[in-house]
Structure 1
Amino acid sequence: VTSENGTSETRLYYNIDYEVWDKPREDLGRFHACWRRENPTDGIVEPPEMDDGTYQHGGVNLSDEGNYLILEAEGAGQYVGCNLNIHALRTSKAEMHNWYGEGDEMIFIDDDNEGQRWPPTLHGTGTEDYFNTAWGPEEKFSSPFFGLTMPGAYNWSGFISWYRWHLADPVRFSKSIRVSIEHGHANRRSDDFSSTAYWYQLEPHKPFGLLPMLQRLPRADHPPLEPPQK
């Protein structure tokens, strides 16, 4: 555990549950977690004359090349799920429909990753659908396997946070897995995305790093939008 808080004391509490074995078992997957961030995602430039419908729903995406990457792992294991956090940054035309969703999740498993076979084994139909909701949810809720703990402010601005656990519907892989999601339909939007992916796998695992501290801090700009005064 490393503390990068240079201004105040850091206190940490933990406990560990464990079992004692005569020797290590080679057939048990180890738990892994990986935090990522893309700030902002690489969306399109929104011309002033573009209507909102074209911006939100135009374009076609037939690969995950420009998607936000949640997980990329090699080996054999099981994808458990993720937290996905979005800081909605769009301010132009924000008085119009400012929904951040409609980003398809794409899960490439094993042979899918050989030449990026299309479509992948699992290909969803939108951000809210992957998290088992629909119609642009605006209220927070929690259930055992999915939830929306931060629904955002007026017109889906500000901070949004989702979770989804694949416990009842396990996603297993034998050689590799790549989990990504579009940032808006066809990667149209440029928002601040971050996530933590959780999975089990046999060692060794593909190395993954961590962004420098300053690149992990929340943005101080782009506060939530205020509803128009009546």
Structure 2
Amino acid sequence: MTSPLSDLYRLRTGIRTKRISSYNREGSNHDYVSVQAGETIDIAVIPGPGIIKHMWFTFNAEDPNFRRNAVLRMYWDGETHPSVEAPVGDFFGQGWAESYNFVSLPLAAAPAGGRGLNCYFPMPFGEGARITLENDSDKPIKAVYYYVDYEEHDSMPASAGRFHAWWNRELTESYPEEGETEWSIVSPQTNHPSTDHNYVIADLVGHGHFVGINYYVDSPGPMWYGEGDDMWLIDGEPWPGSMHGTGTEDFFNASWCPNELYAHPYFGYARIPQKLGFMGRTHCYRFFLEDPVHFSRSLHASIEHGHNNNLTLDLSTVAYWYQSEPHKRFPALPSREGRRNMPEIGMRDVHVWRHEYRKAMGGGRHIWGHEWRRT
């Protein structure tokens, strides 16, 4: 078994270490660049061949939602459509434009308070690389500090897949006739022998391997959100596919409806709700660094939003993979409004729910909340 230290002693030739950063070219301490509202800037333009080994960013922005409104894109080998397109926060492991610490092997959000954003995914290219940052906001990003650490190589082997990352987001619909009835609390649940209505993690064409996902779920109710199975259809195979899961927390290597912070290099829970049950925002992650999902022609990866897709959830993900080019063009990135968070459900909303429940139970003077069990 290898580790990052296994070949650290080995001397190599034909490689030159370089960095592109925001350092001040005149020698002052103003080591940053600014990005005006609506502006897109080049972070790095690198002639090939080479490999980006590490990226680091930190920001000072007026827009409190800049992590969702600033969009990171990467282009390899002169392509016109990006191989990486995602809001900055979501890409580095922070959902909902929030700032919090996040620990994993390939990605991290470091102190202070998760403001140091790091990526260690290697990103090879043969004929150049370009990284851009768009400020899709009505307020300026006053300061962007960054490093892009890379290697120049004499050549790049044909077997080097290109790094890809895609952000998706969906306000899911409750599809079954029985409605939102996880664990059959309201009524018996029906079966779901297909991928119909699943949330799509990735829909890929080409030859490559899938290496990770950041999964951000905002639940408007206290019910457990995680009875959804993950489903992987490789190279056009029919359902149930080569890989079929048993539940959302199982897919993220946890168990029994976890609601606690946990950080492993390959998987974990970086953010959990502090409300009623599972109401609110949960960030799960898993990186397939020891067990990538290989595909020769195509990959369709999806997950149910609750068993049989019975829950309304605000789901967003960033999928990470390597593949040969050309890749399937991404759907158009949702507008700024389309990336906006759903309103948080709070105490007043629950109070209104209880008021409606009291009326539904006849408006008695001692309505407690358990009466539905006897109906």
The two structures share one fold, judged by TM-score above 0.5: yes
User: Once the two structures are aligned, what percentage of the paired residues are identical?
Assistant: 38
Could you say which residue in structure 1 is the equivalent of 2:154?
22
d(CA) in 1 for partners of 2:344 and 2:176? 19
Structure 1 counterpart of 2:334, from 203, 211, 223: 211
Could you say which residue in structure 2 is the equivalent of 1:64?
195
d(CA) in 2 for partners of 1:28 and 1:164? 23
After superposition, the C-alpha distances for 1:194-223 in whole angstroms (9 at most, x for unaligned) are: 000000111100000311111111122423
Could you say which residue in structure 2 is the equivalent of 1:106?
231
Could you say which residue in structure 1 is the equivalent of 2:87?
none
Could you say which residue in structure 1 is the equivalent of 2:306?
184
d(CA) in 2 for partners of 1:192 and 1:101? 13
Higher strand share: 2
Q: Gapped runs of 5+ residues in structure 1?
A: none
- The answer to whether the 8 A contact 1:3-1:10 is kept is no
Could you say which residue in structure 2 is the equivalent of 1:167?
289
Aligned residues: 217
TM-score by length of 1: 0.85
**Per-residue deviation, 1:11:** 2.4
d(CA) in 1 for partners of 2:214 and 2:187? 24
Distance 1:6 1:101, change over 3 A: same
After superposition, the C-alpha distances for 1:93-136 in whole angstroms (9 at most, x for unaligned) are: x5xxx111110000111131xxxx12111000000100011111
Letter in 2 for 1:107: W
d(CA) in 2 for partners of 1:166 and 1:199? 10
d(CA) in 1 for partners of 2:150 and 2:158? 17
List structure 1 segments (4+ residues) > 4 angstroms apart after TM superposition.
45-48, 54-57
- The answer to whether the 8 A contact 2:182-2:224 is kept is no
1:1-150 mapped onto 2 (5 Å cutoff): 1-39=133-171, 41-44=172-175, 53-55=184-186, 58-90=189-221, 94=222, 98-112=223-237, 117-150=238-271
Q: Gapped runs of 5+ residues in structure 2?
A: 1-132, 355-375
Letter in 1 for 2:234: I
Distance 1:181 1:130, change over 3 A: same
Distance 1:111 1:206, change over 3 A: same
d(CA) in 2 for partners of 1:154 and 1:46? 26
Residue 236 of structure 2 aligns to a residue in which SS? Answer: helix
Distance 1:172 1:51, change over 3 A: closer
* Bigger radius of gyration: 2
Letter in 2 for 1:72: D
CA RMSD of aligned residues (A): 2.6
Residue 158 of structure 2 aligns to a residue in which SS? Answer: coil
**Per-residue deviation, 1:155:** 0.8
**Per-residue deviation, 1:164:** 0.3
TM-score by length of 2: 0.54
- The answer to whether the 8 A contact 2:212-2:288 is kept is yes
The higher relative CO (CA closer than 8 Å, separation ≥ 6) is in: 1
Structure 2 counterpart of 1:195, from 312, 317, 321: 317
Distance 1:100 1:57, change over 3 A: farther
